[in-house]
Amino acid sequence: MTAGLWGVASALSIATVTDAIPPACRRRIDAAQDSARRCGRDEAVIETPAWPAAGASHFVPSFTALTDAEYSVRLELSARVDGGWSPWVAGVGLGPSTFAPLPPSDALGVDVDVFGARLPVEAVRARARIRAPGPATVLAAPGLLTPHRRPVRARPPAPRGSTCRR
């Protein structure tokens, strides 16, 4: 399986973003839809559509907003496994704000910012939870939310005659 990079771009040229991604891992880049963005007094959420991710099991989502505004962000992922969607699972928060924990999931785990599924994933969606004094400023800035599919490399075999276990 190769790596794959999907994305939702806000106030950025889709063609420019797409051209910057190496062709071997380029997937679909969509424009952020207003319906996928919610903004409150001090928190905003951007959510991607569901993207096919047949057979993938590891993801490293990322978010960036090109702004001078101070904000904190937490990346969250949900995966469709065996026909059903997992609950949202949260990575660590980045920045000074704290985020309420989300309950663990049997289908999807996370280690800091690497999300892993216990079974092959059919589709994935990501969201960025943003905390800021003025989250609308962050949402209005050019930005990108990506749930990068990371290939898992098999461990190399132990050297012949070795007694070490892997």
pLDDT tens per residue, range 89-114: 999 999 999 999 999 899 999 999 89
How does residue 19 score in pLDDT terms, banded at 50, 70 and 90? Answer: confident
How is the chain split into domains, by residue range? Answer: 5-149
What's the fold here for domain 5-149?
Jelly Rolls (2.60.120)
- Helices assigned H by DSSP within the chain: 14-20, 135-140
> Between residues 56 and 149, which one has the greater pLDDT?
56
Structure tokens at 25: 């891992």
pLDDT of residue 48: 87
Sign of CA dihedral 66, 63, 92, 138: positive
Structure tokens at 109: 């785990």
Q: Which residues contact 161 (CB under 8 A, 6 or more apart)?
A: none
Look at residue 16 and give its three-state secondary structure. Answer: helix
User: Structure pTM?
Assistant: 0.79
CB 36 within 8 A of CB 49: yes
Q: What is the pLDDT of residues 116-165, one digit of tens each?
A: 998 889 999 999 999 999 999 998 899 888 877 765 544 434 444 434 44
